[in-house]
Amino acid sequence: MFSGSIVAIITPFRNGQVDEEAYRELIEFQIENGTSAIVPCGTTGESATLSMEEHNRVIEICVDAVRKRVPVIAGTGGNSTWEAVELTRHAKEVGADASLSVTPYYNKPTQEGLYQHFKTIAKEVSFPIVLYNVPGRTSVNMLPDTVARLAQLEEIVAIKEASGSITQMTEIVVKCRDSIALLSGDDGITLPLLSIGGKGVISVVANIAPKQSAEYVGAFLEGRHEQAREMFLNLFPLCQAMFIETNPLPVKTALALMGKIQEEFRLPMCEMAPASKTKLESVLREYGLI
């Protein structure tokens, strides 16, 4: 259902509020440069610092700005199942095309708990769901057997895999085959993931280099593997730079340096350390982005 370079778009702030004008301009920048779909309110969108009202509004703005030109996969996850249900229901009502639903964080549910969590969301809101596994942030790893169980539900259409384990991702492909789409949750391992049958990436680096990200993923999916490999290797240092400090600090700082947003975060996220920012600026200059 979903493939290509999908951006996990940042949420710009100005004077403590969501900067709607800048947000709409970022969405246009993405669509103009070949992004396949847009994910508002993901990790990169600082969803954990948004109020429920802000969260819903950011999704509404995205849907309105996109105007069905590409799919909108709204971040609607939560560590409370019923909060996730409420967010997912709202996303469906305002016209999003699917939801991105992260494994519940902090609670550390069992594999059965994970299954019941996502099954409940699917039962309560008949809507396409992209699972999101990112154990480095949530302290729980959704295992391939659980993914395979969930893949039997009609609403589960894809998984964003950010465990960092190609072995685990390969096991998902073996167990699920084409019943769901495997998407990379880490720019740095997207090409290896594509090589085992992945369909694309939900990307951080696409925020600042959407054309380059779309081109190498598209090249691979079209069978131009050697060209895709070279393009990926050329982009790789920029991918690494997006994690000099915790995401989304580098990517939002980069967009500010590019003149696209104000350099503003929500606590506990804060400005980058001077040495890290200097290193980031150097990489951005090498790529001609500033």
The CATH number covering residue 112 comes to: 3.20.20.70
Could you tell me if residue 290 is inside a domain?
no
pLDDT at 157: 98
Could you tell me if residue 278 is inside a domain?
no
Could you tell me if residue 181 is inside a domain?
yes
Could you tell me if residue 261 is inside a domain?
no
Could you tell me if residue 63 is inside a domain?
yes
Question: Per-residue pLDDT for the chain (290 aa), expressed as one digit of tens each?
Answer: 799 999 999 999 999 999 999 999 999 999 999 999 999 999 999 999 999 999 999 999 999 999 999 999 999 999 999 999 999 999 999 999 999 999 999 999 999 999 999 999 999 999 999 999 999 999 999 999 999 999 999 999 999 999 999 999 999 999 999 899 999 999 999 999 999 999 999 999 999 999 999 999 999 999 999 999 999 999 999 999 999 999 999 999 999 999 999 999 999 999 999 999 999 999 999 999 99
Cα 56 to Cα 41: distance, rounded to the nearest angstrom: 9
In the chain, how many domains are there?
1
Catalytic residues: 132, 160
**Assigned token pair, 86:** 């409420």
Could you tell me if residue 267 is inside a domain?
no
Bin 155: left if φ > 0, else alpha if -120 < ψ < 50, else beta: alpha
The three-state (H, E, C) secondary structure of the chain, written as one string: CCCEEEEECCCCEECCEECHHHHHHHHHHHHHCCCCEEECCCCCCCHHHCCHHHHHHHHHHHHHHHCCCCCEEEECCCCCHHHHHHHHHHHHHCCCCEEEEECCCCCCCCHHHHHHHHHHHHHHCCCCEEEEECHHHHCCCCCHHHHHHHHCCCCEEEEEECCCCHHHHHHHHHHHCCCCEEEECCHHHHHHHHHCCCCEEEECHHHCCHHHHHHHHHHHHCCCHHHHHHHHHHHHHHHHHCCCCCCCHHHHHHHHHCCCCCCCCCCCCCCCCHHHHHHHHHHHHHCCCC
Residue 153 contacts residue 114 (beta carbons within 8 Å): no
**Assigned token pair, 55:** 């969260």
Task: Show the domain range for 185.
Answer: 4-234
Could you tell me if residue 263 is inside a domain?
no
Could you tell me if residue 253 is inside a domain?
no
